[in-house]
Amino acid sequence: MLRPSLARVLRRARPALTAISATALLALSTVAAPVAAADEPATGTPVWSGLDARDYSGPIGKPGTLIRSTDLDPSVSLADAGRAYRILYATTDVHEKPAVSTGAVFLPKRPAPAGGYKVIAWAHGTVGLADGCTPSAQPRSDRDKKYLGHWLRQGYAVVATDYAGLGTPGLMSYLSGKAEAHSIVDSVKAAARTGLPLSKKWAIVGQSQGAGAALAGARRATEYSRGSGLDYRGVVATGTPANIEHIVWQAGPGFPPVALPAGLNAYAAYIWAGFSDARPDLKPNRVLSAEGRRIVGKARTLCYPELHTAVDGKKISDWFSAPVTSIPGVRAALVDYMSTPYSGYDRPIFLGQGLTDTDVPAPSALSLYAQMRAAGTPVDLHVYPTQDHSGTVLASMRDSTPFLARIMR
């Protein structure tokens, strides 16, 4: 936690925080050295474990309904899992319509305790929007193997949603908090219907895109799980994107004025592809140049390692033929689509942030922390001065492990 005196200063400064965070985020990004692609290898052929739901057209049912479950292929499982399954379940998409999502359920090797394994809902980071990027159909990164393996060794079951649209009909709504929240909560509801020895107690853990999704899920967990008997306890979020919408609406010819790191370019392309799919009524692609339409088209079809390469050295300003603000109502629409909530939580929050992070620079998460404190939201902040975006995940375990143990009692 920040010392109280500093917290009071941040509270008084609240009116300027959003604008400052946008400027600081851009400045930090432009001076940072370009970063390598995440530790994932090139995307391989997906392994569907006998459950290919890309063209699913059957009955859906109420959110959280378990539609189908099968053993997860060992090639896409985790070494620390005793048993692993792939599930297909009902949820709600960005248009508030019935949809389906897939996910994976991993059980520890140790016997289940009385009352079942307590559950961690894992919200994954950026992998891409195409079906071939689906996490439950691809090997996990080395970092995520270590991270998820840690929680399994601690005795937690892990329920890992893919998010609606990844490996299922429709486009995954990148950074759409409401849609991702539905996918997270409904994955836990569906897992509870598998007959596996799972506790009612559960928490959410997420990184990067998944950190924003985790916080959106945390803000809505009690509401979305009402009547299910589940007992939501809290959230761990590392590398959290926040207030990014206030940068997105500034884009246009001439802004940003320089080339950004390839990772930020990839995120921007995914954001515009997801937002365009979510709000076709605004016709967001009308402000794109021919180059912009080409890049956004690639964002719909390329997974992160491949898109990272494709947009390396590109200038986002070249993607636009007119300012984003020329779209009537776009600012409010972007806030509704992708803002990270800073109030209304009913359970504990853990924020972890690396100060050398160039994918989601520190002003993003720190501005969110300041907003949370100003709103009176109880939150624990843990800063890792020498860690980057990926390194923070593993470095945070020394703090998040006792945090989760405490809230899951």
Q: Report the SS3 class of residue 323.
A: coil
Same domain, 212 and 312: no
Same domain, 275 and 357: no
Question: Which tokens sit at 130?
Answer: 């195409």
Task: Establish if 39 belongs to a structural domain.
Answer: no
Task: Establish if 327 belongs to a structural domain.
Answer: yes
Point out the domain boundary residue: 307, 322, 337.
337
Same domain, 333 and 261: yes
Encoded amino acid at 378, one letter = P
Return the axis-axis angle of helices 262-278 and 290-301, rounded to nearest 10°. Answer: 90
Domain count, the chain: 2
Report how far apart, in Å, the C-alpha atoms of 339 and of each of 99, 176, 180, 216, 334 are: 22, 8, 12, 9, 7
The least confident of 18-32, 93-107, 193-207, 308-322 is 18-32
**Which residue from 77, 154, 76 is spatially nearest to 110, judged by alpha carbons?**
154
Same domain, 264 and 328: yes
Torsion of CA 315, 321, 325, 329, to 10 degrees: -120
Task: Establish if 48 belongs to a structural domain.
Answer: no
**132-150: pLDDT as tens digits:** 999 999 999 999 999 999 9
Task: Establish if 61 belongs to a structural domain.
Answer: no
Task: Establish if 17 belongs to a structural domain.
Answer: no
Please check whether residue 215 is in contact with residue 243, taking contact to mean a CB–CB distance below 8 angstroms. no
Same domain, 200 and 86: yes
Same domain, 128 and 97: yes
pLDDT > 90: percent of the chain: 90
What is the DSSP secondary-structure string of 15-58?
Answer: HHHHHHHHHHHHHHHHHSPPPPPPS--S------TT---TT--S
Q: Find the domain containing 304 and state its range.
A: 246-337
The mean of the pLDDT values for the chain is 92
- How far apart CA 109 and CA 241 sit, in angstroms, is 34
Please check whether residue 263 is in contact with residue 358, taking contact to mean a CB–CB distance below 8 angstroms. yes
**70-104: pLDDT as tens digits:** 999 999 999 999 999 999 999 999 999 999 999 99
Task: Establish if 27 belongs to a structural domain.
Answer: no
- How far apart CA 265 and CA 159 sit, in angstroms, is 30
Task: Establish if 16 belongs to a structural domain.
Answer: no
Report how far apart, in Å, the C-alpha atoms of 191 and of each of 114, 117, 204, 235 are: 18, 12, 14, 18
CATH number, domain with residue 148: 3.40.50.1820
pLDDT in the model for residue 278 = 98
Same domain, 225 and 318: no
Point out the domain boundary residue: 337, 354, 375.
337
Same domain, 192 and 269: no
**Residue 122: which H helix or E strand, with range?**
strand 117-123
pLDDT score of 43 more than 60:
yes
Instruction: List all residues 6 or more positions away from 188 whose beta carbon is below 8 Å from its beta carbon.
Output: 64, 119, 121, 159, 202, 225, 230
Please check whether residue 208 is in contact with residue 389, taking contact to mean a CB–CB distance below 8 angstroms. yes
Same domain, 313 and 364: no
**Which residue from 6, 23, 18 is spatially nearest to 373, judged by alpha carbons?**
6
Same domain, 332 and 352: no
pLDDT confidence bin for 26, thresholds 50/70/90: very low
pLDDT confidence bin for 40, thresholds 50/70/90: low
- How far apart CA 67 and CA 78 sit, in angstroms, is 23
Q: Which runs of consecutive H residues, i.e. helices, occur in 119-208?
A: 142-153, 177-191
Point out the domain boundary residue: 337, 362, 379.
337
pLDDT confidence bin for 10, thresholds 50/70/90: very low
Asked if the peptide bond before residue 256 counts as cis, ω within 30 degrees of 0, the response is: yes
Task: Establish if 45 belongs to a structural domain.
Answer: no
Same domain, 221 and 254: no
Same domain, 172 and 266: no
Instruction: List all residues 6 or more positions away from 131 whose beta carbon is below 8 Å from its beta carbon.
Output: 46, 54, 166, 167, 168
pLDDT in the model for residue 41 = 78
Q: Which runs of consecutive H residues, i.e. helices, occur in 287-361?
A: 290-301, 304-310, 330-338
